[in-house]
Amino acid sequence: MSPVLEIRDLSVDYGSLRAVHNVSLTLGAGEVLGLAGESGSGKSTLAYAATRLLQPPGRVPSGEVRFKGHDLLALTEKQLQVLRWSEIAIVFQGAMNALNPVISVGAQIDDVLRTHRPALTRRERADRGRELLSLVGIPIDRLSAYPHQLSGGMRQRVMIAMALALEPEIVIMDEPTTALDVVVQRQILGQMMRLRETLGFSVIFITHDISLLVEFSDRVAIMYGGRVVEEAPAAEIYRAAKHPYSQGLLGSFPALRGPRRELRGIPGSPPDLRSMPTGCPFHPRCPQAMDVCGERMPSLDSVEERRRVACWWEEAHV
Amino acid sequence: MTFLLRRASFYLITLWAAITANFLLPRLLPGDPVQAMITKLGGRLNSDAMASLYILFGLDEKKSIWEQYVDYWGALLRGDLGLSFTFFPTPVADVLSQSLPWTLGLIGVTTIIAFLLGTLIGVYAGWKRGSWMDTLIPVTTFLSSIPYFWLGLIVISVFSVTFPLLPASGGYAAGLVPEWSGEFVGSVLEHAVLPGITIVVSSVAGWILGMRNMMVTVTAEDYVLVARAKGLSEKRIMFAYAARNAVLPSISGFALSLGFIVGGALLVEMVFSYPGLGYVLFQGIGAKDYPLMQGVFLVITLAVLVANLLADVGYLLLDPRTRREG
């Protein structure tokens, strides 16, 4: 699988606090890469930093994001504007507020087409808008509706339709279904994955819901305290997660299929950026913590083909 | 549509209540207009003159309050607001129709200018917060915190006394006849410069501050981030996404301020002896001219109601969430 997006050693600071530490990730063509972690683990920050959407005081002190031979972090604002949405589109979290409340959804889709496809006539843009709505299963007469007239699920579908307007190479989905009920969640994600098969884009899927992640992703990266702690194919991680944190996350959601298992939470709370524990940031909550865990940070090393884990215990027991 | 009808009936009821209060208030005051006139003229009226005044004001017939109320409405619908004492024997309606255009022209135009200017500066200051534009805010706030009459007097003393560039008072040069001639219009504009600038200077800060703060709030909204991710131009994001939402609270404030154009510029017109409604009201109050005061209050009431209606309609047009379907 040839990579479409390569994040290399990316760090993100908020003021003097480091929110993301030297993360490297690769998104393959046509792949769904899942990013999981608790709130504050840096998963959204990572995605926004990689697409240069980070708001001040967020800043990227080091790293590289390779896309089609460019480093996204080195492009000028003008060059970036051309790439935005036409190559990398984003389905935002919170369908409630991601649409402009005072403009009709048709006009918001039209906005994208008018900016990036100036050759299209008004009629062609309207046709494309209707085509996009029917693609996501919304009656085409809703093109003139305002966001408040649509249900949460419909709004999220509109966001997806809008994201696909220019047939982008990459779609980043940031908690796309968090505000929706479970049935609608699955409908929308299922539809998104079918569209991916026909249109052939790659997806970065960010969520804290690891059961959705395992179900809909090809490969999963688990983040904790601003670092990737484990990366593996989705089926593998579900079958046998290696990092104690991944095991904890998986244990905190009910399994959809397979044998019943006991639900467990992870004791303690996510680390505070202002007072990160020394060594492995997870060690104060880790049931398998050893002496070395509190002293030095384990590196993210390959343990098997296409599997990487950052854990001293794992290293000691290979 | 039903929404509009409901609003319209609300305004009609408010209008009726305001006019009725306007009718009742002077009748609750002790004395009558003739007494007031006698006092004003210092007793230099003989009994014949007093009797004819009673007839003139319609106070000779002993009418019940209900009959008076009906007559009042009848007169009102004919546009008859009674006679002014101050400008006796000019009818109040004439006094109002002569002074209203001056007020609307000066205060109306400057209110709109201040709103547009302040909002535009606010949009940019909020969008590029932390830039040099933020330094404008303490400056304009300082200017607006100067008591208006003081600001007016300073401006007069500098620009028409120390450096006699512009006229200090009046609506047009003495000796000119109001007509559509270049000379007269030029004189009107010249006379409007000082009061106009002082109004804008003293009121622009509120619009800047309100708009800037709303821009800062709205800029943090998800849809602005989405607009950025969509690769839209900076201008488009700033106006169609951020400012378009941020301006909503200012719009209702603006519509309400339109209502106070008519009555709210008392100080301006006093300082600059401007021949507008505020100055007329000031003279009317000084002379206990009840018919004139009543007339001015009626105009102010109507203006506030119209402004409220405008605020409602404007909001309806600008914010689809306030429209009710069906």
pLDDT in tens, A15-46: 888 888 889 999 998 899 999 888 888 888 89
Instruction: Report which of residues B323 and B320 the model is more confident about.
Output: B320
Please tell me the predicted confidence (pLDDT) of residue A65: 92
- pLDDT above 60: residue B325: no
Mean pLDDT of the region A38-67:
87
Mean pLDDT for chain B overall = 85
Q: Which of A89, A92, A102 sits opposite B222 (nearest CB)?
A: A92
Confidence grade of residue A318 (pLDDT, cut at 50, 70, 90):
low
The pTM score is 0.82
Task: Examine the domain organization and report whether A28 and A152 are in the same domain.
Answer: no
Please tell me the predicted confidence (pLDDT) of residue A10: 92
Most confident range, picked from A98-112, A274-288, B287-301: A98-112
- Indicate the residue among A150, A166, A182 that finishes a domain: A166
Contacts of B221 in chain A (CB under 8 A): 97
Our count of domains for chain A comes to 2
- pLDDT above 50: residue A74: yes
Please report whether residue A223 resides in a domain: yes
Task: Examine the domain organization and report whether A250 and A307 are in the same domain.
Answer: yes
Task: Examine the domain organization and report whether A155 and A173 are in the same domain.
Answer: no
Determine the distance in angstroms separating the CA of A174 from the nearest CA of chain B, rounded to an integer.
Answer: 12
Please tell me the predicted confidence (pLDDT) of residue A120: 92
Please tell me the predicted confidence (pLDDT) of residue B218: 93
> Is A112 close to B230, i.e. CB distance below 8 A?
yes
Task: Examine the domain organization and report whether A213 and A294 are in the same domain.
Answer: yes
Q: What is the pLDDT of residues A80-127, one digit of tens each?
A: 898 899 999 999 875 568 899 999 999 999 999 999 999 999 999 999
> Is A85 close to B229, i.e. CB distance below 8 A?
yes
What is the CATH architecture assignment of B98-322?
Answer: Orthogonal Bundle (1.10)
Please report whether residue A204 resides in a domain: yes
CATH of the domain at A251: 3.40.50.300
Q: Which of B226, B231, B321 sits opposite A81 (nearest CB)?
A: B231
The residue in chain A having the minimum alpha-carbon distance to the alpha carbon of residue B219 is A55
Task: Examine the domain organization and report whether A182 and A299 are in the same domain.
Answer: yes
Determine the distance in angstroms separating the CA of A72 from the nearest CA of chain B, rounded to an integer.
Answer: 13
| B315-320 CB contacts, 8 Å cutoff, 24+ apart | B315/B248, B315/B251, B315/B252, B316/B3, B318/A102, B318/B244, B318/B247, B318/B248, B318/B251, B319/A101, B319/A102, B319/B248, B320/A101, B320/A102, B320/A104, B320/A146, B320/A148
Q: What is the pLDDT of residues B272-283, one digit of tens each?
A: 888 888 888 888
Q: Which of B221, B233, B320 sits opposite A115 (nearest CB)?
A: B233
How far apart are alpha carbons B101 and A277 in whole angstroms? 73
Task: Examine the domain organization and report whether A162 and A177 are in the same domain.
Answer: no
Q: What is the pLDDT of residues B116-165, one digit of tens each?
A: 999 999 999 999 887 888 888 888 888 888 888 888 899 899 998 888 88
Estimate to the nearest angstrom the gap between the alpha carbon of B166 and the chain centroid. 24
Residue in this structure with the two tokens 């819901």, named with its chain if needed: A209
How far apart are alpha carbons A121 and B299 in whole angstroms? 51
- pLDDT above 50: residue A280: yes
Please tell me the predicted confidence (pLDDT) of residue A96: 67
> Is A85 close to B231, i.e. CB distance below 8 A?
yes
Q: What is the pLDDT of residues B167-222, one digit of tens each?
A: 888 888 877 777 778 888 888 888 888 999 998 988 898 899 999 999 999 998 88
Please tell me the predicted confidence (pLDDT) of residue B326: 40
Task: Examine the domain organization and report whether A198 and A273 are in the same domain.
Answer: yes
How far apart are alpha carbons A33 and A231 in whole angstroms? 10
Please tell me the predicted confidence (pLDDT) of residue A95: 59
Please report whether residue A70 resides in a domain: yes
Confidence grade of residue B224 (pLDDT, cut at 50, 70, 90):
very high
Please report whether residue A76 resides in a domain: yes
How far apart are alpha carbons B273 and B86 in whole angstroms? 16
- pLDDT above 60: residue A9: yes
- Indicate the residue among A147, A166, A185 that finishes a domain: A166
Task: Examine the domain organization and report whether A262 and A304 are in the same domain.
Answer: yes
Q: Which of A81, A97, A102 sits opposite B318 (nearest CB)?
A: A102
How far apart are alpha carbons A239 and A232 in whole angstroms? 11
Estimate to the nearest angstrom the gap between the alpha carbon of B124 and the chain centroid. 28
Q: What is the pLDDT of residues A163-187, one digit of tens each?
A: 999 999 999 998 887 777 888 888 8
Confidence grade of residue A1 (pLDDT, cut at 50, 70, 90):
low
Q: Are strands A3-14 and A301-304 parallel, antiparallel or unpaired?
A: unpaired
Most confident range, picked from B32-41, B237-246, B306-315: B237-246
Q: Which of B232, B244, B245 sits opposite A111 (nearest CB)?
A: B232
The 3-class secondary structure across B230-296, one letter per residue, is: CCCCHHHHHHHHHHHHHCHHHHHHHHHHHHCCCCCCHHHHHHCCCCCHHHHHHHHHHCCCHHHHHHH
> Is A146 close to B320, i.e. CB distance below 8 A?
yes
Task: Examine the domain organization and report whether A180 and A236 are in the same domain.
Answer: yes
Mean pLDDT of the region A238-261:
77
Task: Examine the domain organization and report whether A112 and A219 are in the same domain.
Answer: no
Please report whether residue A92 resides in a domain: no
> Is B231 close to A90, i.e. CB distance below 8 A?
no
Query: For chain B, what are the domain ranges?
Result: 15-77, 98-322
Q: Which domain holds residue A119?
A: 97-166
Task: Examine the domain organization and report whether A110 and A198 are in the same domain.
Answer: no
> Is B225 close to A53, i.e. CB distance below 8 A?
yes
Task: Examine the domain organization and report whether A81 and A38 are in the same domain.
Answer: yes
Please tell me the predicted confidence (pLDDT) of residue B263: 66
Q: Can you read off the two tokens belonging to residue A305?
A: 């083909």
Please tell me the predicted confidence (pLDDT) of residue A255: 64
Q: What is the pLDDT of residues B94-129, one digit of tens each?
A: 888 888 888 888 888 999 999 999 999 999 999 988
Contacts of B248 in chain A (CB under 8 A): 102
Reduced to 3 states (helix: H, G, I; strand: E, B; else coil), residue B3 is helix
- Indicate the residue among A151, A166, A181 that finishes a domain: A166
Q: How many CB pairs under 8 A join A and B?
A: 80
Q: What is the pLDDT of residues B3-49, one digit of tens each?
A: 778 888 888 999 999 889 888 887 777 767 677 777 767 667 778 88
Judging by beta carbons within 10 Å of its beta carbon (0-12, 13-18, 19+), is residue A70 exposed, middle or buried? middle
The 3-class secondary structure across B174-228, one letter per residue, is: CCCCCCCCHHHHHHHHHHHHHHHHHHHHHHHHHHHHHHHHHHHHHHCCHHHHHHH
Q: Can you read off the two tokens belonging to residue A119?
A: 């050759």
Instruction: Report which of residues B285 and A147 the model is more confident about.
Output: A147
